[in-house]
Amino acid sequence: MTCDDDHAASADGDEQLLVLPDALRHELKEPMGPIETDAERLLEAVDGPLIAVGDVVTYHFLQAGRAPDVAVVDERTKRETVDEEIRETVTESTPLEATNPPAALSAEMVETLREALDREEPTTILVDGEEDLVALPAIAAAPEGASVVYGQPDEGMVHVTVTDEHRAEMRALLERFEGDTERFWDLLEQH
């Protein structure tokens, strides 16, 4: 892909690259890993990069003294605006922004996630829209042993320690989404 092609892809970055089919919604309600309610206890099990998806999850890690290597926030929790303290804390340093529609993954979101994963310094992505599905490509793209943590409403934080098996499961799940899966993988896997 040339720089010109890259720019063209970014110009329509809010397009719905992949859309969650209704038939898959029930499968995503099951947690993909153990649920923890204590951020400090969860952090004891983290050995490698930490990727946090969700404002409340990110807030708990910051309060526990550990900035996630990648945090994805949208200033909302359970479809409601987060408390001002949480919003201010998690958006204090947001060097990247992306637009992502509900129940979908946009090209811009995938490109921004890839950029954040490739950075050396902790990076927060502020999503205009919804970040709920970003845990899926994060698991698919994260290195072996990385921790992807996302919120399970009214239950706690789901901790996925990434393995080849998890990545294969995410690949199979994402392949069942509607849309341009070939372009999705091209964007997610470019280095």
User: CA 113 to CA 38: how far, in whole Å?
Assistant: 26
Query: What are residue 51's phi and psi, to 5 degrees?
Result: -115, 120
Nearest of 123, 118, 158 to residue 142 by alpha carbon: 118
According to the annotation, is 57 in a ligand binding site?
yes
According to the annotation, is 22 in a ligand binding site?
no
According to the annotation, is 154 in a ligand binding site?
yes
According to the annotation, is 56 in a ligand binding site?
yes
According to the annotation, is 144 in a ligand binding site?
no
Encoded amino acid at 116, one letter: A
According to the annotation, is 118 in a ligand binding site?
no
CA distances from 150 to 58, 97, 138 (A): 9, 19, 10
CA distances from 113 to 35, 50, 138, 165, 166 (A): 24, 13, 7, 21, 18
Annotated binding site: 55-57, 74, 131, 154
Q: Indicate the annotated binding residues for GTP.
A: 55-57, 74, 131, 154
